[in-house]
């Protein structure tokens, strides 16, 4: 991810305002406050962010571009003199780019031979095509710094399963509802759900955890569409922990109980299906430790 570093340095010098190409299929642009962008709310909290999208295809592939663009949200034209807008990236490719961004700032990745200390880059936001089951439309990564030292990274996932070009007015909906149901008054209630914790592995080959923590908010009256929940909202915290969660405090006990169940079934049926070991020790090391423990027991009995 050397290109973002170069772009960031050139931007600070005032030498670069245009997008640049990364690995032939990715377009990256450093967006600052005052520039037209979809990320208005994010830019209000950050001086600048990296916006990553798919490179505009060649003219001979225009028909395919038009077909893809019909299913995507409209975005502002980031490149001067071009009428074709950039496209969204596949979710898998977006996760790969987010992974590269986080690894480049991880001080523990010494095998990458990255020059230390690493310069903290602005947040990275990748526009996605929503091809995954969750309908992911944006992936983001923002660094946490303490005294100019990178202490961690926050990963963001924005999903959308509703109409992306939504322009209906709340009052118009109320009026339409009154006419349809012949009522004189309509009460609107708002509902929002926030995922405080959810497994979102960057590697698609790893089965995600089912452990989730969600916050459900409801309120009334509703002032506008897509309203931010007010402080007076009724809140419910929902915690769901997957049995045997590896990050849970009872994971070791769960595995021991599961092992005992396997032994009990083996005694009952005569067939034992051994669990796959999670430890990195070899079988030889376990046997040596077992023999050493037996020798210690013999010495204790002799005494």
Angle at 147 between CA 146 and CA 150, to 5 degrees: 45
Strand, coil or helix: 160: coil
Look at phi and psi of residue 270 and say left if phi exceeds 0, alpha if psi is from -120 to 50, else beta.
left
pLDDT at res. 299 = 64
CA–CA dist 259, 86 (Å, integer): 53
Tell me the fold of 170-240.
N-terminal domain of TfIIb (2.20.25)
Q: Is the dihedral of CA 288, 291, 297, 303 positive or negative?
A: negative
| Length in residues, the chain | 303
pLDDT of residue 40: 59
DSSP 81: T
Q: What angle do CA 16, 17, 18 make, to 5 degrees?
A: 100
pLDDT tens, per residue, the chain with 303 residues = 555 555 555 555 444 467 888 888 888 888 876 665 556 556 556 678 889 999 876 543 444 445 444 444 433 333 334 445 568 999 999 999 999 898 888 877 766 676 767 778 889 999 998 888 888 889 999 988 888 788 888 898 888 776 655 556 788 888 888 888 888 888 889 999 988 876 655 445 455 667 788 999 999 988 888 788 999 999 999 988 777 666 666 677 777 788 888 888 888 888 777 766 655 666 677 777 877 877 777 665 555
Q: For the sheet containing 190-198, what is the strand order?
A: 190-198, 212-219, 234-240
What is the pLDDT at residue 232?
92
Strands of the chain, DSSP E: 20-22, 26-32, 48-54, 124-127, 136-146, 149-159, 190-198, 212-219, 234-240
Show me where the domains of the chain are located: 2-159, 170-240, 251-302
Are residues 93 and 17 in contact, defined by beta-carbon separation less than 8 angstroms? no
- The arrangement of strands across the sheet holding 26-32 comes to 20-22, 26-32, 48-54, 124-127, 136-146, 149-159
Q: How many CB atoms lie within 10 A of CB 121?
A: 22
2 neighbors 23 (Cβ within 8 angstroms): no
Asked if residue 86 lies in contact with residue 38, where contact means CB atoms within 8 angstroms, the answer is no
Distance of CA 215 to the CA centre of its chain: 18
Q: Which two tokens stand for residue 85?
A: 């807008």
């Amino acid at each position: 991810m050397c290109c973002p570093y170069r772009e960031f340095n050139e931007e600070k010098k005032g030498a670069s305002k245009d997008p640049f190409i990364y690995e032939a299929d990715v377009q990256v642009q450093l967006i600052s406050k005052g520039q037209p962008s979809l990320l208005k709310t994010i830019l209000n909290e950050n001086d600048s962010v990296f916006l990553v999208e798919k490179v505009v295809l060649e003219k001979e592939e225009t028909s395919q571009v038009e077909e893809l663009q019909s299913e995507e949200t409209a975005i502002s034209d980031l490149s001067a003199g071009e009428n074709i807008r950039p496209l969204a990236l596949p979710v898998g490719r977006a996760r790969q780019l987010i992974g590269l961004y986080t690894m480049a700032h991880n001080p523990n990745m010494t095998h990458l031979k990255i020059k230390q200390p690493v310069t903290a880059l602005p947040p990275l936001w990748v526009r996605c095509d929503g091809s995954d089951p969750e309908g992911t439309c944006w992936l983001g990564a923002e660094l946490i710094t303490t005294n100019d030292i990178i202490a961690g990274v926050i990963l963001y996932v924005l999903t959308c399963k509703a109409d992306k070009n939504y322009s209906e007015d709340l009052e118009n909906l109320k009026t339409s509802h009154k006419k349809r149901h012949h009522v004189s008054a309509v009460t609107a209630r708002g509902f929002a759900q926030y995922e405080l914790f959810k497994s979102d592995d960057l590697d698609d080959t790893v089965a995600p955890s089912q452990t989730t923590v969600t916050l459900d908010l409801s309120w009334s009256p509703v002032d506008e569409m897509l309203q931010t929940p007010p402080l007076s909202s009724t809140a419910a915290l929902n915690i769901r922990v997957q049995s045997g969660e590896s990050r849970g405090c009872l994971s070791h006990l769960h595995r021991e109980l599961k092992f005992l169940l396997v032994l009990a079934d083996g005694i009952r049926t005569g067939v034992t299906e051994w669990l796959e070991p999670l430890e990195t020790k070899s079988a030889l090391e376990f046997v040596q430790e077992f023999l050493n423990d037996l020798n210690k027991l013999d010495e204790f009995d002799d005494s």
